[in-house]
Amino acid sequence: MIQLKKISCPIAVCNSRTPCAIALISKSRTLTYRQLHEQIQSTQSDLINKGVRRGTKVAITSANSPEYVVLLFALWRIGAVACLLSPRIPALQIKKQIRQLGCSTIISPKEIASSLPLLATGKNMGLSLFLDAPATIMLTSGSSGNPKAVVHSVGNHYYNAKGSNENIPVVKGDRWLLSLPLYHVSGLSIIWRCVLGGGTIVFEQHSGITHMSLVTTQLRRFLKRKANIKILKSLKAILLGGGPIPQELIKTITTLKLPVFLTYGLTEMTSQVATSHKTPQGKIKTLKYRHIKISKTNEILVKGKTLFKGYLQNGKVAKAVNREGWFPTGDVGEINQKTGLRILGRKDNMFISGGENIYPEEIEKAFLNCGGIDEAIIVPVKNREFGFRPVAFVRFKNNKRIAMQNLIPKLTATLPNFKIPDQIYEFPREYSPNGIKVNRQLLIKLLS
C-alpha cells in the first residue's frame, strides 16, 4: 500500500502549542486556536453526518467570514474538496459553474454558523491533511476571460505559505488583515500563512494589524487618507502585487519608508512565486519550494511544490506542463543581477502595430507615471494601415480629466511615438468590479 505524505492540521498544532493565542478576529467574534479547533471538529462531524466524504466536491459561495475558515479546514480534515465560487456573479452563472465543477453539494458558511458555539465531542477525528490530496478548485479567467478550473492540493497551499513565511515571518501575536476574498488564491494564502505561523487572521480593519496584502489600487486608496498612512508605517509588512507599480507610487513608498515587499505570483502557483526582501527597490527573488526560468522567447516558466495539480476538464485533472515539467505562465520577463525578476508584460496581451511588438503593460506604466491617473489599461483596436493600434482606458484621480494634448508630452518622454495611443477613453467602472483583475476582452468588445 502506498503511504501518502501528510501533515498535522496547522490549527490542531496551534491548539496543542498555543491554545489561548488569538486565531481570528472579526466584528462578530474573536476565537482562540482552541475555540477554532473545537468549531472545526464540530463542523467536521456535522459534515460527515450530511454525507460529505473524502473526495466530495463542495461548492462554497460566500463573502469572507470566520465561518468560511471553519468550513474550509473541516472539509480538508475530511479530505473533501472546496470549490470556491465568487458571490458577486449572478445566480444562474453560479449554477452553471457548480455543474461544470461536478459539485455534489453546496454549503454556505452561514449554514454552519449555528454550530459554532458548540464544542467538539472530545474525539479527535482526522487531524491530518494529506499533502497530495486535492484541497481546492477555483476559477481563474486569466487574460482571455474564459474561466479555467484550477485544482490545488493541500501541499500546494502548505508550501506556498511555508516559503512565504521564511521571507516574511508570521509569529504569535502578528495580525494579517484579510483584505482579499477567499475565493481568490491571494486571499486564501493569507489564512495559510497565519495558521502556519500561529498568527491572527483579521477580517476587518482593526488596531494592532501587523501585515497586509494589497494590490496597487488598494494601496493608492489607503494613501489618500492621512490616518491610514500612520497605520501603514506601523506595519511589519505590506505585500504588494497585482500588476505594474508606477514610479510615482514607488517614490511615495520610499519617502514614507513603508515596509513594502513587491511580489509576483499567479493562481497556478498558489499565489507568490518571487518576492522582494522589503523596500520596493529590493531584489525580487524566487521563494523557496518554487523554481523559475526564462524561455528562449522570454516567457517565464515555473515549477515546484506550489505548482497546481492541473485544470479540471470534463471531470478529470489535466496537467498543463511541458515535457520537462515547466508551466508556461504566459508572462514575459527577464532576470538580472540587480533587480532579480522583472515582468515585461503578458505574452497573450502583446500585439503587433506596423511590425513592432507592443506590450500593453509598458504603456500602462508610462500612463501611471504621468501623475493624475489611478489606473490605465491599453487594448488593441484594428487598423487598416498598421494592423492594430493601441487605445487607452484610464481612470483619472478624483475624476479630474486630463486633456490628451497634456498627456502626450509626458508619454513621449519615455515611449516612442508608435506606442502612443490613438485614443484615450475614461474607464467604465463596471469592467473592473473587484478592483483586482480587469477583463481586457470585454474592453475590446466595447470598442468594437
Mean pLDDT of 12-40: 95
Would you state the pLDDT for residue 356? 83
How much is the pTM?
A: 0.84
Q: How are strands ordered across the β-sheet holding 423-426?
A: 373-383, 387-396, 423-426
In 3D, which of 320, 316, 318 has the Cα closest to residue 101? 316
| Domains of the chain, start order | 351-447 (3.30.300.30)
Sign of the C-alpha dihedral computed for residues 32, 36, 37 and 41 taken in this order: positive
* Cα gap 181→341, rounded to integer Å: 27
| Cβ-count burial 288-323 (b if 16+ within 10 Å, e if not) | ebbebeeeeeebbbbbbbbbbbbbbeeeeeeebbee
Residue with C-alpha cell 444562474? 92
Mean pLDDT of 167-178: 97
For residue range 232-259, what is the model confidence (pLDDT) as tens digits? 999 999 999 877 677 778 889 999 999 9
* Cα gap 78→366, rounded to integer Å: 50
More confident residue, 326 or 110: 326
Would you state the pLDDT for residue 118? 46
Distances (CA, A) of 310 to 138, 158, 235: 11, 17, 36
DSSP 1-43: -----EEE-HHHHHHHH-TTSEEEE-SS-EEEHHHHHHHHHHH
* HEC readout, 113-154: HHHCCCCCCCCCCCCEEECCCEEEEEEECCCCCCCEEEEEEH
Q: Show Cβ contacts of residue 350 under 8 Å, excluding neighbours closer than 6 positions.
A: 332, 357, 358, 359, 360
* Cα gap 52→153, rounded to integer Å: 18
* Cα gap 332→327, rounded to integer Å: 13
The amino acid at residue 270 is T
Mean pLDDT of 51-62: 95
* Cα gap 155→44, rounded to integer Å: 20
Would you state the pLDDT for residue 226? 87
Distances (CA, A) of 20 to 9, 12, 23, 190: 17, 13, 9, 21
First to last CA, the chain: 59
In 3D, which of 375, 372, 345, 368 has the Cα closest to residue 357? 345
Q: Is 314 left (phi over 0), alpha (psi -120 to 50) or beta?
A: left
Q: Is 356 left (phi over 0), alpha (psi -120 to 50) or beta?
A: beta
Please write down the long-range contacts of 250-254, taking CB distance under 8 Å and 24 or more positions apart.
250/280, 250/281, 252/223, 253/279, 253/280, 254/279, 254/280, 254/281
Would you state the pLDDT for residue 113? 58
β-bridge partners, 353: 356
Would you state the pLDDT for residue 120? 46
- Cα within 13 Å of Cα(378), Cβ side: 24
Which H helix or E strand runs over 213?
A: strand 211-215
More confident residue, 385 or 261: 261
pLDDT band at 215 (very low <50, low <70, confident <90, very high): confident
C-alpha cell at 62: 460566500
For residue range 339-356, what is the model confidence (pLDDT) as tens digits? 789 888 888 888 888 888
* Cα gap 359→349, rounded to integer Å: 7
Look over the chain and give the mean of its residue pLDDT values, rounded to a whole number.
88
* Cβ–Cβ < 8 Å for 68, 180: no
- Is 384 buried (19+), middle (13-18) or exposed (0-12) by CB count in 10 A? exposed
Residue with C-alpha cell 464540530? 42
Phi, psi of 220 (to 5 degrees): -60, -45
Phi, psi of 232 (to 5 degrees): -60, -40
Asked if the model's pLDDT at residue 291 lies above 60, the reply is yes
